[in-house]
Homo-oligomer: A and B are copies of this chain.
């Protein structure tokens, strides 16, 4: 398959494929001459993965490159892997006040590196709430933490251990591509809960 074929089966324009090649997201095809190269199913799968990370997962080109690097060359440490994936998908951020975040995590009983990027992410998110003048109801954050820990435990329990590739793939995609699913499900759950509380609109 040449580049036009790759474009046809994935729906990604040739110019864009060339762009991803330049950016090092997509590995080059096998050159058969100075002006021809062949692409195979590995390229189509890779291209689809790139598009999923750029689209639904909402990553930038740079973040996709970092994540793909981890997929291509994962270290041996499974615990560390999770942290590296999460780091790769953080926006570089200021250092907000982590006091509220640490208190919340402490009350939840979690053991977390206090200065980790993810703690900063939580701190920044709580900062946003405070800046907007939103005070969550008593105990609400703890409830979020408990609920999400249940889900996270199930996710971690499902990480396959027989093959490193499978583990990496599961971890990366499970971390990143599930996020939009969660947000969509939350909004739909809110609609259902709101319908139960406030009554359905008279549709149909």
Contact = CB atoms under 8 A, between A and B. Distances in A.
Interface in A154-204: 154-159, 169-170, 173-175, 177-201, 203
Given A122-B185, A151-B143, A129 B173 contact: yes
Chain A, interface SS category: helix
Contact of A183 (B105, B127, B179): B179
Given A49-B132, A122-B181, A128-B57, A189 B113 contact: no
Given A124-B184, A125-B181, 4 more contacts: A51-B131, A53-B132, A134-B173, A152-B190
Nearest to A128: B56
Nearest to A169: B134
Interface string A113-137: 1001011011011111101111011
